[in-house]
C-alpha cells in the first residue's frame, strides 16, 4: 500500500495570525494615510512571526534527515514476464495480471501471488508468516507476493491481479481502523482553541470601546495588533516543531513512522501487548522429540507424523518430517493421498490417505475440536511438554490420539531486558500467542509478564486490544507476522519489525529497521519526554499571554493617563502603539529562543508535572514582563534617535 509523506497542516493559531497579518497589510494599503505606517509595522512583525512559525518544522525536518529516511511507500518490486516467444520482458509488479508467467531467480522477491509451474527452490516466507526457516517450493505449490526465493529458480503463473493479492486484501481489511487521538492531543487542541478564542474576543471587544471613549487609541491597527499579540503564538508556532522533532528522535532509533503522530500517542501508553513467536522468541520452532502415548508403538507415531508432515510446506512441518524420518527404520513410507494444508485458522495439517484413513497433526485445541472427547491422556502429555516451555503438537489417526511432537523455540536473549524496561516504565504487559496455554504461561512467568493470552487467532489478538481500549487503556503492540496485522492496526501505537510481513508493516504506524521488539520501551520513553516538553512550552506560552494581557492593556491605559494602578505608568511603555509593537516583538523573539527546546526537549524531561508548571510558568511571566518593557524602551530610543 503506497503512503505519501505525512502532511504538515498549519496550526489554527498560526492560521489566525496569518489572517491578521493580511488584514494589517490591507489596512496599510487602504487605510487613512496617518495610520498606514503603523499598520505596516504591525503587518511586518506579524509576517516575520508567521514566517518563523512556518519555518520551524522545516528546520526540524532538515535535522531529521541525518537518520533513517521516510520510506513514504513501498518500492516497486521488479518482475520478469516470460513472453510466448521465450523472451523476458521486465515490468513492475503492479503491471502483472492474472495469467502472466514470470521467472524468479535466487535472492529475488516473489512479485505476486502465483503458482509454481516449473523449477524449484526454497522460499523465505517470514515476510508473511513470521517463521524464518525457508520452505521448499515445487511445481503445483503456491507462492505469495512479498516472500523471497532463497535458493533455486522458479517459473510461476500469476493467479490473481494485484488488488486481489493476499497482502493487499489484508491491508484493505485493516486500513479502515482509525486510531483515536491521544488524550494529550485532545486536551491540547481543546485548551489552545478555547484560550485563543477567549483572547481574541477580549482584545477585539476593546476596539469599539476604545473608538468611543479613548480617542487616543482609535487606530484599528492598534487593536488588531493587540489581538494578534494576545493569541498563544508561541505554542501555535512550536507545537508543529515538536511534532516534526518526532522524526528526528525516531531516526536516531532506526524507526520509520508510517502515519499519524505515533510518539504523541506513545506518551500516553500504559499497556504493551507483545507477540511471542518471532518477536519474543527467535521464531525457529524445531521438532526435537516424538512422544508416543501408552499403547502406541513409537514406529506408528513416527510413521503418521511423517505422512502428516511430508507435504506440509511450513517450516515446522519440514522439521517434523525430518525428525520422523530419522526415527523410522528402513525405507520411508510412500506419501500418497490428499494433503490438508496448515492455516492460521485451523492450526492443523495432515493427509487423507487413499484407503480413507485420516491423519492430522496440530495444536491440542484444534485436535480437540476435531475429535471431541477421549483426549485426556494426550492432554496430560501435552501439559507436561508445555510446562517445559516447549510447544506440543498432537498426532491423531482417524480421531485416535497417538502421541505428541515436541517443538522447541528459544526465547530471544534480549527479551528479559526488554520486559525489565517495560516494568521500569510502569507498563502493564500482555504476551499474546497462538501457542499452547501452558507454554505461554511458562514463558510469561520466566519473563515476569503481567498476563498472557494463548491459542489466539488473528481476530482474537485484535479483539484483545479492542477490549483493553474499551477499559480506557492506551495500548502499544509489537509483532511481525501476517497474523499480527489486525492487532497492529487496532493498537494506538503499532510497532512492526522490518524482518516481518509487509502487511504487518502496512498496518503498523512504526517500523523498526533493527527488528527489536524491546525498542518499544525507548519509543514510549521518548513519547513521554515529548509530552513533558509540549506541556512545558504550552505553560510558558499561556503564562506569557496572561502576562501580556495584564501588562499591555493596563499599560495602554496608563499611557493615556487612565491607568487604575499608578505603577503601570512607571513601566515607561509610552504610547499604546509602541506597547502593542513591543508585545508583537516579544512573540517573535520568544519563538526563536524556544525553538532549541522544542527540538531537543527539556533538560529534565522526567521531572514532575507540578515542578514543570512552576518553572516554565514563572519563566513565562517574568520574561514577558521584562521582555516587553525592554523592547518598548528600545523602540522609544529608536523613535528619539530617528525623530
**Distance (Å, whole) CA 140 – CA 637:** 88
Cα(354)–Cα(336) distance, rounded to whole angstroms?
7
Residue 108 grid cell: 529475488
The H or E element that residue 375 is part of is none
- Report d(CA 477, CA 493) in Å as an integer: 6
d(CA 148, CA 138): 15
Task: Collect the ranges in the chain with pLDDT lower than 70.
Answer: 1-13, 56-76, 126-134, 166-193, 195-196, 199-200, 202-219, 240-241, 243-247, 259-261, 283, 344-345, 372-374, 551-575, 601-610, 612, 643
The C-alpha atoms of residue 284 and residue 367 are separated, in whole angstroms, by: 23
Closest CA to 349 of 309, 388, 383, 379: 309
- Residue 455 grid coordinates: 491459542
Res 116: pLDDT: 93
Backbone angles phi, psi at 603, to 5 degrees: -70, -30
CB proximity list for 540: less than 8 A, separation 6 or greater: 234, 590, 594, 616, 617, 619, 620
Q: What is the pLDDT of residue 411?
A: 81
Q: Which of 113, 275, 435, 512 is catalytic?
A: 275
pTM value > 0.75? no
Q: Is 275 a catalytic residue?
A: yes
Separation between Cα atoms, residue 193 and residue 13, nearest integer Å? 8
Inter-CA distances, 156 with 110, 138, 139, 483, Å: 10, 10, 8, 26
Burial class (CB in 10 A: 0-12, 13-18, 19+), 45: buried
pLDDT value of position 46: 84
Write out the H or E segment, with its range, that includes residue 349: strand 348-352
Q: What is the pLDDT of residue 169?
A: 60
Report pLDDT digits (tens) over 542-574. 888 788 777 666 656 655 555 444 444 444 455
C-alpha 567, offset from chain centre: 54
- Cell triple for 379: 492432554
Q: Which domains does the chain have, with CATH numbers?
A: 12-61+189-239+531-642 (no CATH), 78-175 (2.70.150.10), 248-279+411-524 (3.40.50.1000), 286-408 (3.40.1110.10)
Classify residue 218 by its DSSP letter.
Answer: -
C-alpha cell at 482: 501476517
CA distance 616 to 614: 6
Would you state the torsion angle of the CA atoms of residues 223, 226, 231, 237, taken in this order, to the nearest 10 degrees? 120
Amino acid at each position: 500500500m503506497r503512503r505519501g509523506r505525512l502532511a504538515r497542516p498549519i496550526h489554527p493559531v498560526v492560521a489566525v495570525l496569518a489572517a491578521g497579518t493580511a488584514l494589517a497589510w490591507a489596512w496599510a494599503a487602504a487605510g487613512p494615510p496617518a495610520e498606514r505606517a503603523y499598520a505596516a509595522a504591525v503587518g511586518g512583525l506579524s509576517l516575520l512571526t508567521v514566517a518563523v512559525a512556518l519555518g520551524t518544522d522545516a528546520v526540524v525536518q532538515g535535522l531529521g534527515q541525518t537518520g533513517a529516511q521516510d520510506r513514504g511507500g513501498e518500492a516497486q518490486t521488479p518482475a520478469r514476464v516470460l513472453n510466448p516467444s521465450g523472451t523476458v520482458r521486465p515490468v513492475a509488479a503492479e503491471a502483472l495480471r492474472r495469467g502472466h508467467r514470470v521467472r524468479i531467480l535466487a535472492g529475488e522477491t516473489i512479485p505476486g501471488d502465483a503458482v509454481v509451474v516449473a523449477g524449484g527452490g526454497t522460499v523465505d516466507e517470514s515476510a508473511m508468516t513470521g517463521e524464518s526457516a525457508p520452505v521448499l517450493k515445487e511445481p503445483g505449490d503456491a507462492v505469495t507476493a512479498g516472500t523471497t526465493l532463497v535458493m533455486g529458480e522458479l517459473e510461476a503463473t500469476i493467479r490473481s491481479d494485484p488488488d486481489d493479492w493476499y497482502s493487499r486484501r489484508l491491508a484493505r481489511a485493516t486500513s479502515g481502523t482509525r486510531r483515536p487521538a491521544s488524550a494529550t492531543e485532545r486536551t491540547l487542541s481543546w485548551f489552545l482553541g478555547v484560550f485563543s478564542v477567549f483572547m481574541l474576543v477580549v482584545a477585539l471587544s476593546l476596539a469599539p470601546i476604545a473608538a468611543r471613549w479613548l480617542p487616543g487609541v482609535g487606530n484599528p491597527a492598534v487593536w488588531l495588533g493587540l489581538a494578534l499579540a494576545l493569541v498563544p503564538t508561541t505554542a501555535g508556532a512550536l507545537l508543529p516543531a515538536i511534532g516534526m522533532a518526532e522524526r528526528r528522535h525516531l531516526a536516531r532509533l532506526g524507526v520509520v513512522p508510517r502515519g499519524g503522530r505515533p510518539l504523541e500517542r506513545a506518551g500516553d501508553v500504559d499497556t504493551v501487548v507483545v507477540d511471542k513467536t518471532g518477536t519474543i522468541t527467535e521464531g525457529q520452532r524445531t521438532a526435537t522429540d516424538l512422544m508416543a502415548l501408552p499403547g502406541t508403538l513409537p514406529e506408528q507415531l513416527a510413521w503418521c507424523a511423517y505422512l502428516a508432515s511430508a507435504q506440509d510446506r511450513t517450516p515446522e512441518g519440514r522439521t517434523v518430517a525430518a525428525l520422523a524420518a530419522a526415527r523410522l527404520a528402513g525405507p520411508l513410507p510412500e506419501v500418497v493421498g490428499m494433503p490438508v494444508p496448515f492455516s492460521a485458522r485451523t492450526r492443523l495439517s495432515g493427509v487423507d490417505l487413499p484407503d480413507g484413513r485420516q491423519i492430522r497433526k496440530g495444536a491440542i485445541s484444534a485436535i480437540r475440536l476435531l475429535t471431541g472427547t477421549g483426549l485426556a491422556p494426550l492432554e496430560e502429555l501435552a501439559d507436561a511438554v508445555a510446562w517445559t516451555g516447549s510447544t506440543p503438537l498432537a498426532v491423531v489417526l482417524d480421531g485416535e490420539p497417538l502421541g505428541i511432537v515436541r517443538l522447541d523455540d528459544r526465547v530471544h536473549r534480549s527479551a528479559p531486558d526488554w520486559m525489565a524496561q517495560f516494568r521500569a516504565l510502569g507498563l502493564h504487559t500482555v504476551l499474546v500467542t497462538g501457542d499452547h496455554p501452558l507454554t505461554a504461561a511458562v514463558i510469561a512467568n520466566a519473563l515476569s509478564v503481567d498476563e498472557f493470552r494463548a491459542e489466539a487467532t488473528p481476530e482474537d489478538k485484535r479483539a484483545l486490544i479492542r477490549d483493553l481500549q474499551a477499559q480506557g487503556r492506551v495500548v502499544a503492540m509489537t509483532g511481525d507476522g501476517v497474523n499480527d496485522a489486525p492487532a497492529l492496526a487496532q493498537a494506538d501505537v503499532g510497532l512492526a519489525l522490518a524482518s516481518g510481513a509487509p502487511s504487518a508493516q502496512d498496518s503498523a504506524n512504526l517500523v523498526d529497521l533493527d527488528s527489536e521488539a524491546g525498542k518499544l520501551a525507548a519509543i514510549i520513553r521518548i513519547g513521554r519526554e515529548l509530552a513533558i516538553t509540549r506541556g512545558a512550552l504550552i505553560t510558558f506560552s499561556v503564562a506569557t499571554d496572561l502576562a501580556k494581557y495584564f501588562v499591555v492593556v493596563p499599560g495602554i491605559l496608563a499611557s493615556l493617563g487612565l491607568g487604575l494602578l499608578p505603577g503601570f505608568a512607571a513601566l515607561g511603555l509610552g504610547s499604546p502603539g509602541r506597547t502593542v509593537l513591543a508585545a508583537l516583538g516579544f512573540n517573535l523573539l520568544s519563538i526563536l529562543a524556544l525553538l532549541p527546546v522544542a527540538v531537543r526537549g527539556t533538560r529534565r524531561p522526567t521531572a514532575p508535572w507540578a515542578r514543570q508548571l512552576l518553572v516554565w510558568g514563572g519563566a513565562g511571566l517574568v520574561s514577558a514582563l521584562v521582555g516587553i518593557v525592554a523592547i518598548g524602551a528600545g523602540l522609544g530610543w529608536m523613535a528619539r534617535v530617528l525623530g
